[in-house]
Structure 1
């Protein structure tokens, strides 16, 4: 004889088969697991964007480290002598350009850096020219900046930033690109067209990162 349970109207109802309850429980657990996986995938943080796709054109020799490099904490100065470090620009994509007025390739690429800065004037992007020129050449630095607005130059006549990079700068120009967390994501030794689609693609990808 089957066991029965009383329901509210006083009538007897057959007891559910334990096997049915077990199957239902397994099904619910399975659904919960699927939902958890979907939710986890949705909120899983993405790793750094791969910038190697932009190694073409004038950026063919772009160095993209497998692991982002830390920025040096070396102090450089504005043209009026105010100290600054790369940490001051955290939260922005930074295109740091080490250059000098006696470096012809540096001067040749400077207008393209100015165009890059102008293109992102309303976004958190800073093109950061840091000159290694001596005090006696400051008039030449000012002339170069006046010819390439909206760029604003900084100074490092002691080459401290160049030597603090890991690896150190190989020569001039050297351009290092930092993400909004202040990490080095790409580096170019030698001149390039920084107004081209490859440079803008790098900036766009770094801007899109959280």
Structure 2
């Protein structure tokens, strides 16, 4: 031995290393949870009905209740999605500045007409700014039997788990208020593929 003490890492270095390992572990767990929650093959029973334009449907691996975000009804009164518990809810987030949203709205109106008198609610929620609400309301008025619901603060899109990646986003909730599936992007909601999907959710509830 040469009498000199061997250099060792100080306690602060060990502390930073432990924090780094812990942070990596937390990030990995969060990644796994997010991936599982949007796994498109998690619900094989429902996935069997996801044909054609519904093939891009995502189904959650774990139950996800509807967020408690406040939206506004056709009279401008506040309400939450749990007000529709007992009905299958097809929630569509849209805006007048979103061309795919505008293009698919007639098909959502057709879906709503198909289920009139049944416990199915097609809920088109506008995220237009307050300055554009009148234009959005007039647009929905052209697509009966849809009614005008709004989220002028754009909170609902971010309160979904995971948040909506863009517009339009459509989420299907069972009568228990739990998310069954969602679809990002435009689709033909009045077609046979969409009706078969909603029929399956309706029968399961």
TM-score range, shorter chain: 0.7 to 0.9
Q: Which residue of 2 aligns with 1:107?
A: 102
Counterpart among 153, 174, 181 of residue 179 in structure 1: 174
CA distance in 2, matches of 1:180, 1:49: 19
Q: TM-score, normalised by structure 1?
A: 0.74
Contact 1:99/1:173 (8 A) holds in 2: yes
> Displacement, 1:49?
8.2
Query: More strand per residue: 1 or 2?
Result: 1
Taking the TM superposition and a 5 Å limit, the aligned residue runs for 1:45-194 are 50-194=45-189
The separation in 2 between residues aligned to 1:108 and 1:156, in whole angstroms, is 20
CA contact (8 A) 1:97 1:128 kept: yes
Corresponding residue for residue 201 of structure 2: 206
1:11-46: per-residue Cα shift (whole Å, max 9, x none)?
Answer: xxxxxxxxxxxxxxxxxxxxxxxxxxxxxxxxxxxx
Contact 2:95/2:101 (<8 A) preserved: yes
Q: 1:138, 1:198 → 2: CA distance?
A: 32
The whole-number CA distance in structure 2 between the counterparts of 1:118 and 1:59 is 19
Misfit runs of 4+, over 4 Å: none
Deviation at 1:65, TM superposition (A): 1.5
User: Please, what TM-score do these two structures have when normalized by structure 2?
Assistant: 0.76
Deviations 1:100-156 (A, max 9, x none): 001000000000000000000010000001111112112211221121000012111
- Report Cα offsets for 1:146-188 as digits up to 9, x if no partner: 2100001211111111111000000000000000000000000
**Of the candidates 176, 197, 204, which is equivalent to residue 192 of structure 2?**
197
CA RMSD of aligned residues (A): 1.4
Unpaired segments ≥5 residues, structure 2: 1-42
Unaligned runs of 5+ in 1: 1-47
